[in-house]
Amino acid sequence: MTLLDVNKLSISFGGLRAVDDFNLQIEKGELYGLIGPNGAGKTTVFNLLTGVYKPNEGIIKLDGEDITRKNTVQINQAGIARTFQNIRLFKQMSVIDNVKVGLSERFKYSTLEGVLHVGKYRKVEKEMNEEAMKLLKVFDLDGEKDTLASNLPYGKQRKLEIARAMATNPKLLLLDEPAAGMNPNETKELMDTISLVRKEFGMTILLIEHDMKLVSGICEKLTVLNFGRVLCQGETKEVLANPEVIKAYLG
């Protein structure tokens, strides 16, 4: 069953067609790769899917719902969560508190209850802590729950950002070059974690990368972008054998 259905998506900046007639269908449970050279338009697509940009043309549907004109908060509430190429954490908050930020839409109490620690506050905080710890265990971060996010090694900061995104209980998880800046060991560990998240949560994942070797080992299907247009789409093995794809990377 199709979870994400994108049709004829386009956007221009100052007369430059950054994304042109982009189409994409992702089935529930897939781990899908969006690849292309630097400047191909990959992150622009993510910004369109998450409401950072509004398209000039096209329609985006999530689980049958038209989310094309919704804002970033509404799109997150509809079920899309993302990470960023440049890590965006609350650096002076603890690991567990970063995850609790992601949980805050699902576990609520009033401002007065929070200030005075009365009413639903203690019960909700207990539930949030328990849920946050479950997520941190999946990412092997439970032992560092009280560590400041800024004090985590780079690879673990990446994991924490994904854990926080997962805390919003998304239908679709967008990962923008999650392995950027990692050494080979960190990259392998992260890819194993992404595969585990998919398996444990039945998560549908769209992964941006420019490293063909990396996506070939984890994604079943790929879309290749070049100069804002789809160069090739399909099963990973077929896409990576396409002469046009090889030319885009090596030409």
In angstroms, rounded to a whole number, what is the distance separating the alpha carbons of residues 50 and 73?
9
Q: d(Cα 185, Cα 199) in Å, to the nearest integer? A: 21
Per-residue pLDDT, 77: 93
Beta bridge partners of 80: 172
Q: What is the C-alpha separation between 219 and 215, in angstroms, rounded?
A: 5
Percent of the chain beyond pLDDT 70? Answer: 93
What φ, ψ does residue 145 adopt, rounded to 5°? -60, -30
Q: Confidence band (pLDDT; 50, 70, 90) for 63? A: very high
Per-residue pLDDT for 118 more than 90?
A: no
- What is the overall mean pLDDT for the chain? 90
Q: How far does Cα 67 stand from its chain's mean position?
A: 17
Position 109 scores a pLDDT of 66
Taking only the tens place, the pLDDT of each residue in 166-222 is 999 999 999 999 888 888 888 888 888 898 889 889 999 999 987 777 788 889 999
Q: Is the pLDDT of residue 11 over 70?
A: yes
**Is pLDDT at 248 greater than 90 in this prediction?**
no
The Cα 45–Cα 1 span in angstroms is 22
Q: Which residue has the higher pLDDT, 215 or 143?
A: 143
Nearest to 32 by CA among 224, 168, 161: 224
Query: What per-residue confidence (pLDDT) applies to 68?
Result: 97
Q: How far is it, in rounded angstroms, from Cα 89 to Cα 141?
A: 15
Residue 44 has pLDDT above 80, yes or no: yes
d(CA 126, CA 136): 15
Least-confidence region, from 12-21, 58-67, 178-187: 178-187
What mean pLDDT is predicted for residues 49-65?
Answer: 97
Q: Residue 250 pLDDT more than 60?
A: no
Q: What is the mean pLDDT of residues 117-122?
A: 71
